[in-house]
Structure 1
Amino acid sequence: MWNKLLISFTAVLFGFMSLGFIQANTQDYTPVPKSPDTHVAYIDRIYTENGTLYIDADYISWYEGEEANKMFLEREPDSGLTEVPDGYYIVNDDNAITKLPVSPNAEVLMQIYNRTGNVEEATTNWNEKIDLNKFVSLFADDTDMNMKDYPYHLEVENGKIVKITQQFIP
């Protein structure tokens, strides 16, 4: 559990350190609203089976702000810190994978990805709507930015994913 979290955090941190030129206006950041139908997850893989698109998701608990500080202090009291360093905290106590079909009409909202083919030009555009096929292709290409490093909010209705929102990581 902690190894996956540490590996994911390290990968994201290293990615952003090596891509230090990527800019984000965090003043415009708005947290994704929580709802009983929305699950935060790392996407393990995206694939088609019998003509249906599926996502294998590893559900996590995503905390921000004071809620993140509280959870962090409860779970890591010996860290020497009084709050989370980047304003968020991830808990992944269960590495079970959940297989979910994706609606062909699923809405996809991205924060950051390689839009131009030149990763040096990557910037954050809040909740930019992209085509589901574009998302699948971005996820398949990890040469510049690995989309697996980001958590996603998966909105599920009637057992199918109807909305995918990439979580911004400061």
Structure 2
Amino acid sequence: MKKMVLFTTLMISMLAFVTSAHAVGSEYTPVPRGEDTITVMISSLGQSKGDLTLQGDRIEWYEGEEADRKFVEHETDIGDMTHAPDGYYIVDDQQKLETFEIDSNAQVLMQLYDRDGTYEGTDIKWNEKVTLGKFLNIYPNNGLLDVSTFPFHLTIKDGKVVKIVQQYIP
């Protein structure tokens, strides 16, 4: 009987840990669209003429009902499906890399990344602020989680990226 109680207690504790890993921070909120915000799949980060740069392919990111509409418009072999399977939809009509200069004071907000080399360290923390320097270390670290597979929303002012926000994909 004691073993059963101990086992049940451990299972409940593990379940609480796993579910809390997805509830850290505030709730998910979509990144607002604006004239100065674009969404890209980052191809590379580097230096050009002494400036920090980002190469990326612009995409269109849709969520909710808008994703459902775009999914039905763009996909041809969907049978009787009427909505985007995962609640989001990406359109990439022109696969073309563009180079963007990153402001040295750019704000970076991450949702999910490898914080410490453990699976427990890859929990979701909505809009976690990290320094640009830390982002430059996170991006190539693809051991447990490859953040290059996530879209990023870029806010551009005066020709420079001033904000980088990782888009969470369920």
TM-score interval, smaller chain: 0.7 to 0.9
Instruction: Name the residue aligned to 2:38.
Output: 39
> Displacement, 1:123?
0.8
Partner of 1:90: helix, strand, or coil?
strand
| Secondary structure in structure 1 of the residue aligned to 2:169 | coil
Residue 24 (structure 1) aligned to one of 18, 22, 25: 22
Are 2:53 and 1:54 aligned?
yes
Q: Deviations over 1:112-149 (max 9, x none)?
A: 01112213431110100000011011112222211110
Question: Larger Rg: 1 or 2?
Answer: 2
Aligned CA-pair RMSD: 1.8
Counterparts of 1:105-120 in structure 2 under 5 Å?
A: 105-120=105-120
Q: TM-score with structure 1 length normalisation?
A: 0.83
- 1:142 partner amino acid: N
Letter in 2 for 1:140: P
Unmatched 5+ stretches in structure 2: 1-17
Does 69-78 or 150-159 show the bigger shift? 69-78
The percentage of counterpart residues that share the same residue type is 41
Matches of 1:135 and 1:102 in 2, distance apart?
A: 12
* SS across alignment from 1:140: coil
Query: When the two structures are aligned, how many residues end up with a matched partner?
Result: 150
Counterpart mapping for 1:1-170 below 5 A:
23-25=21-23, 28-80=27-79, 81-170=81-170
Gaps of 5+ in 1: 1-20
SS in 1 for 2:71: helix
The Cα shift of 1:49 comes to 2.2
